[in-house]
Amino acid sequence: MDLQGKVAVVTGSGRGLGLAYAQTLAAAGAAVVVNDVDRAAVDSAVEAIRARGGRAAGAVAAVGDSEAAQRLVDTAVEEFGRLDVLVTNAGILRDRVLWKMTDDDFDAVVRVHLRGTFTCARAAAVRMREQGTGGRLILISSPAGQRGNFGQTNYAAAKAGIVAMARTWALELGRAGISVNAVVPVAATEMTKTIPAFEPVIEESERTGAPLPDWLRKDEGLGTVEDVAGLIAFLASDDSKDVTGQAIGIGGDRLALWAHPKEKAVAFADGGWSADTIAAEWSAGVGAEPETYGIPAPTTPEA
């Protein structure tokens, strides 16, 4: 994948998935602005990219505010002359069940994930429209946003909102040649290590250097952070110019296209529906095959 001449901003790219995205984009030829709240992580990532012959600059900022978003765009323009790609990866977790989640827990996660995606995308879109040569907005979502997840009211809501924004912005920015897609990644990170079914397998792989087993890479679609980064490079490239408004999943050996929400079953009643007629018809009608909810529990070969 040739990204020579392109300039990308990757939020939350000091470590983990974001770092893999930044390194892969740089290896393909893009100049990259590395962003994180941790200056040491930013400096380390920039140094590593440059040591491999890539071009990189750092920007320490907590995404959420419009000022921080503008600083990232300005850094790209000042350091490399333009902006072609934005990857909104920055995020935090404050997991708690509904009755224990505080206002601060909710607001902090929504601020970084949802508002941070909005402010960064808006600043990037303004710049890309001014340049007049199109661009790529790549918004990082999550399976939790597609299906819900226990203890993640704030995170799931934000990640679902990100997919909705991707579809909306694909409509609004199409005439400017700016594609917008949501990526739904699954990878072995510090967060997924906390899942009991995954923890020992991931730790064994890290300890021995052995690849993750097929059941994990294929059935669960979970691999390394590097497994996810190829999709980011593709969506940043000219090869993906006609791909927009999509939610695309990737992890391990699996690449998937998530369906847009749609009506699954429809029924009609002359004059409309009362509560009584809904109750009478529900189980044999539109409610006969209710949808599942929640991320399915991992199924190991032993199970």
Active-site residues, by number, are 155
Token output for 270: 């002359």
Calpha distance 106→95 (Å, rounded): 9
Contact 31, 78 (CB under 8 A): no
The residue type found at 156 is A
The residue type found at 138 is I
Q: Bridge partners of 60? A: 36
Calpha distance 273→269 (Å, rounded): 6
Q: Give the pairing type, strands 85-88 and 178-185.
A: unpaired
Three state DSSP letters for 41-84: HHHHHHHHHHHCCCEEEEEECCECEHHHHHHHHHHHHHHHCCCC
Contact 7, 84 (CB under 8 A): yes
